[in-house]
Chain A
């Protein structure tokens, strides 16, 4: 198989590197490219398509949609934090029917690979959402957002309890097309994320998305009150990257066969490569898209260069590479 050379791109100029086979899979979902948007950071793809060709990345993960139209929370909904931000949107959206009719139809017509993210207030709502998506064309996978921190009742964060998480995944699995893989989106706000990952895998999840935002808070020193109308919000951005890499590492170590869509503060190709080495099969670029609207495309190009520079000819060989046993030269040194 002949390969083109990477000679252009943001980091590639002047380098003569062999092109890398970037194809990967998230369970049965095969994709030629490994970088996705993250739910809530790309709406339904249309706006970002003005800045880069959305069909050229792994795919669009749409903003989590609920059964009915939802206004979201009052403003302020956002606060900037060191290398990150807090958000408290509250899952504003059009509801599943309008989403299928407008947003999903547009994505299908555009030819973008699409992961539909769903969120419910009850196990039953998740089941209904899955049923609505059954037999709808153009869905590569379903992300089950069981970890949004911006719900009225924090007790309803299903991903914080193994049993609730499991019930939601079972409900989605029962109601959805068996050919469409189910990705459970997990929260880092738990004592042991491996327990939750094991629980959703047993319930039938085909993959996990790791991580959602972590709960945070900022006090506005002018008003001397919480900066967000919702009081608390989800922290995202490069500030949480080490936490995200750790979660991916732990899950991959415990469940090496469970595909992981890794995310949390990815800003460039090197960041993305950390997630791949930690065990992610693909990655999402989220908050950094607010800083650079073409970030998903840029990160994908940079990731290819970062892999090529380390001698990888396929992305698949790099997945979980940081978990390998001692290298031969290290073994040799120890024996000397």
Chain B
């Protein structure tokens, strides 16, 4: 279904550790949202000097309720744009476009699923966990971050998971180390059929590698910087192998953000592989 462009109103702003959760009215958008979809928000109003919209995974979508549909997003402050956003208050208006991108694909039959979130990459996994459970899937969650404060929603996600394993690089919470230090073991214990992952590119690459080594199907939601989010600017590309075996520089906003783990050429993200379609030939 086509994305919508609308003006949403801030319903609620709340802190969640080092992140801020914004609840926004978004009539029509919430109903269309599937786990893994994202939206983007205009920054600073009509005359803003910050032209580029900021993209966020949709964390929760409530299609009914007194506001006729609302969505939640999780914002981490990285610069002026996200700083402006977390300073919004109840009743402020925001320009919203969404839902955008290709969402996660859900298994037709009950399957054993591992959900891996890095930092606030757990955000789109909550709706996913709920929908997987509704389909009779087993859901085990791994949440990892550098430190405890960079984790998001670990208490909340427990509700939807058979098990939750937390990893932090400094050992401030859970197992000291990275998500991939525990992933192999959990694949064995749960006889996992599918791995869903969202987080920084390095983590996704590592998760996709473990999944490939164990022969487990993986879906990874990537994080690439985008200008438009709707497929027209061509800035958010990464090398992905197509069904025909040919590598193309594809747009993560419309052909992703969710990709099959075995299709992204992780080690070459940020480059144009020499065998990619239309890659520069020598001497040109």
Contact = CB atoms under 8 A, between A and B. Distances in A.
Nearest to A69: B278
B136 interface: no
B16 interface: no
A41 interface: yes
B52 A80 contact: yes
Interface of B: 2-3, 5, 42, 46-47, 49-53, 81, 95, 97, 224-225, 227-228, 230-238, 248-249, 254, 269-272, 276-280, 284
A contact face: mostly helix, strand, loop, or mixed = loop
Most buried by B among A48, A63, A78, A95: A78
Contact of A72 (B224, B231, B232, B234): B234
Nearest to B247: A71
Contacts, number: 117
B237 to A, nearest CB: 6
Interface string A79-92: 01011110101001
A1 B238 CA distance: 55
A289 B272 contact: no
B contact face: mostly helix, strand, loop, or mixed = loop
B52 A291 contact: yes
A117 interface: no
A85 B227 contact: yes
Nearest to A290: B228
30 contacts: A40-B234, A43-B232, A43-B234, A47-B230, A48-B230, A48-B232, A69-B277, A71-B272, A72-B234, A72-B278, A74-B272, A75-B269, A76-B225, A78-B227, A78-B235, A80-B50, A80-B81, A84-B51, A85-B52, A85-B227, A87-B233, A87-B235, A229-B270, A238-B49, A289-B228, A290-B52, A290-B227, A290-B228, A290-B233, A292-B42
**Leading 7 A-B pairs by shortest Cβ distance:** A69-B278, A78-B235, A70-B278, A71-B278, A290-B228, A50-B2, A47-B231
Contacts of A74: 270-272
B279 to A, nearest CB: 5
A6 to B, nearest CB: 20
